[in-house]
């Protein structure tokens, strides 16, 4: 059984026990949250849209952190223009504890 949930402007395929990273959420560590479900698939049926209004996916916040550093370097040839930047995307790591319907 799996579900498609929407969080942080993206959609993720989740199963029970899965740990995944999403965009930074404004919740405390070890706090439980409920994710909105778009699709639920079991062995015998598939629920989509309004049919999965009663489906709940509960997740626990494992940690907050920053991703791997990206190095950005731009330049313009023959103009002596060089620009160097770095970026680390913040994330929230979630663990799916239960999928109920």
| pLDDT one-digit tens code per residue, 14-39 | 999 999 999 999 999 999 999 999 99
What local confidence, expressed as pLDDT, does residue 19 receive?
97
Mean pLDDT of the region 68-74: 96
Structurally, the chain folds into a number of domains equal to 1
What local confidence, expressed as pLDDT, does residue 101 receive?
84
Q: Which residues contact 50 (CB under 8 A, 6 or more apart)?
A: none
Best CA proximity match to 63, nearest among 90, 99, 89: 90
What local confidence, expressed as pLDDT, does residue 38 receive?
94
Q: What is the pTM of this model?
A: 0.83
| pLDDT one-digit tens code per residue, 37-69 | 999 999 999 999 889 889 999 999 999 999 999
Domain residues for the domain of 24 are 2-100
User: Is pLDDT at 80 greater than 90 in this prediction?
Assistant: yes
């Amino acid at each position: 059984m799996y579900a498609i949930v929407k969080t942080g402007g993206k959609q993720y395929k989740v199963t029970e026990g899965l740990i995944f990273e999403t965009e930074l959420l404004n919740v405390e560590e070890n706090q439980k949250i409920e994710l909105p479900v778009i699709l639920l698939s079991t062995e015998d049926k598939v629920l989509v849209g309004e049919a999965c209004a009663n489906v709940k996916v509960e997740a626990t916040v494992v940690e907050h952190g920053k991703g791997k550093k990206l190095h950005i370097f731009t330049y313009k040839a023959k103009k002596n223009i060089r620009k160097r930047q770095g970026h680390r995307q913040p994330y929230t790591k979630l663990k799916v504890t239960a999928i109920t319907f």
